[in-house]
Amino acid sequence: MPKLTRRQFAILAAAGAVAAPALAQDLPQPAIIAEGGAAEDRIEDTRSGLDLAINQGCDFIQVNLVPSKEGSLVARRDTELSASTNVAARPDFADRKTTKTVDGQDVTGWFAEDFSVAELQTLFCREARPELRPQTLRYEGKEPILTLSDVLQLARDGCIRTGRTVGVCARLMHVDYFESQGVDVVGRLASELSTEGYVAAAAAIWMQASEPEALRTFGKLSRVRRMLIVETGAPDTAQMTTSAGLADIHGYAEAIAADQDLLIDPTAATFPAPTTLALDAHNAGLGVFSRTARGENAFLPAALRQGDRRSKTYPAQRGDVGRLLVALFSEGLDGVATDLPADAGRARSAVLDALRRAKSKNG
């Protein structure tokens, strides 16, 4: 296992108020959630990317879900398909191009809900961020869109292949938009999970959404655990992260998944500077997960960006994501979402090894 540098030990010390309780326990291992798979190495939400993430040691694979014309759920980050598939190059689908208002924004393109599952599965996945991840372009046009059923089977196959429990985080996208279109995506998710055998709170699965009402409704239909996505800048975030807000969340969810800058203050003079959110949420009885840690400068705190700022490729250059991952695991979280599961595994091992040494030293 990698040794912690002096700087990383300083990170642990900075998070000591939160990490200290782990010293008195058997060091439960926080989960690694691979969002979209190993998405720095493969196109996200593809079979190869999810399989690679499992092989690299993730505990959960996370996919974002939108409905087809029949209402069946498929793994797409957005309901508009042209950024992530080859649909725009398909002359047989040219007449499906249209403009819709999604979450208050006018969007022109091709939409998953206008295609049957059979049609969607004739499309091939593309890299949605080619300017940031040119290394994945060689995988374009090789893998079709996955259904939720496909993803669940990938996880089960991964359990058999690795001898580990591999779960799924299933996030519903644009819930209010689809509900306004008469599509009950919450009910559909509960139904599909039940059909697949995911019916218990102990099942290796999380239902995720950013809409509280979606989680409340889902809780009436399924015993599967629920996780509220808490995003920086969302209208209700300031209230949600108060003691009263967290207590309210505990009434309809078992955990939160918070943006990183809600867990680590991005305006602080030194990195990391943990906020009190993780401790406050734990005190409210909630599990706490961080949202996606990515390696490119474009997604990292300013203190962790590396390379030539004058370069056109600076946003795509890799920063010190290892330091971010160590900081997150040091904060006593229940899990960290990332598209770098191998890096996350090394950071988690380093933090746990340091805590074990500290525990041994302290008797």
Tens digit of pLDDT for each residue in 165-202? 999 999 999 999 999 999 999 999 999 999 999 999 99
Tens digit of pLDDT for each residue in 195-223? 999 999 999 999 999 999 999 999 999 99
Q: What does the pLDDT read at residue 357?
A: 85
Q: Hey, what are 67's tokens?
A: 């409905």
Q: Hey, what are 354's tokens?
A: 């340091």
Is the Cβ–Cβ distance between 186 and 175 less than 8 Å?
A: yes
Domain boundaries, the chain: 6-71+146-361
Please report how many Cα atoms fall inside a 13 Å half-sphere around the Cα of residue 64, on the Cβ side: 16
Sign of CA dihedral 274, 276, 282, 283: positive
Q: In angstroms, rounded to a whole number, what is the distance separating the alpha carbons of residues 171 and 45?
A: 12
Q: Is 314 exposed, middle or buried (0-12, 13-18, 19+ CB in 10 A)?
A: middle
**For 44-56, b where at least 16 C-beta lie within 10 A, e where not — what string?**
bbbbbbbbbbbeb
Closest by CA position to 53, among listed 350, 339, 348? 339
Q: In angstroms, rounded to a whole number, what is the distance separating the alpha carbons of residues 50 and 65?
A: 15
Spans of the chain below 70 pLDDT: 1-27, 363
Residue type, 35: E
Q: Hey, what are 244's tokens?
A: 């009263």
Is the Cβ–Cβ distance between 124 and 76 less than 8 Å?
A: no
Instruction: Scan for tokens 């949600």, then name that residue.
Output: 240
Closest by CA position to 294, among listed 111, 39, 23, 82? 39
Total residue count of the chain as it appears in this document: 363
Q: What does the pLDDT read at residue 22?
A: 37
Quickly count: other Cβ atoms within 10 Å of residue 176's Cβ.
Answer: 15
Judge if the upstream peptide bond of residue 144 is cis by omega within 30 degrees of 0.
Answer: no
CA 186 to chain centre: 19
Q: Hey, what are 303's tokens?
A: 């203190």
Q: In angstroms, rounded to a whole number, what is the distance separating the alpha carbons of residues 73 and 67?
A: 4
Is the Cβ–Cβ distance between 189 and 218 less than 8 Å?
A: yes
Q: Hey, what are 7's tokens?
A: 């700087």
The reported pTM is 0.91
| Cβ within 8 Å of residue 291, ≥6 positions away | 229, 231, 257, 258, 259, 260, 337
Round the CA-based radius of gyration of the chain to a whole number and report it: 20
Is the Cβ–Cβ distance between 155 and 168 less than 8 Å?
A: yes
Q: Hey, what are 129's tokens?
A: 């961020």
CA distances from 10 to 16, 293, 328, 357 (A): 10, 20, 13, 15
- Which of 3.40.980.10, 1.10.390.10, 3.20.20.190, 3.90.550.10 is the CATH number of 6-71+146-361? 3.20.20.190
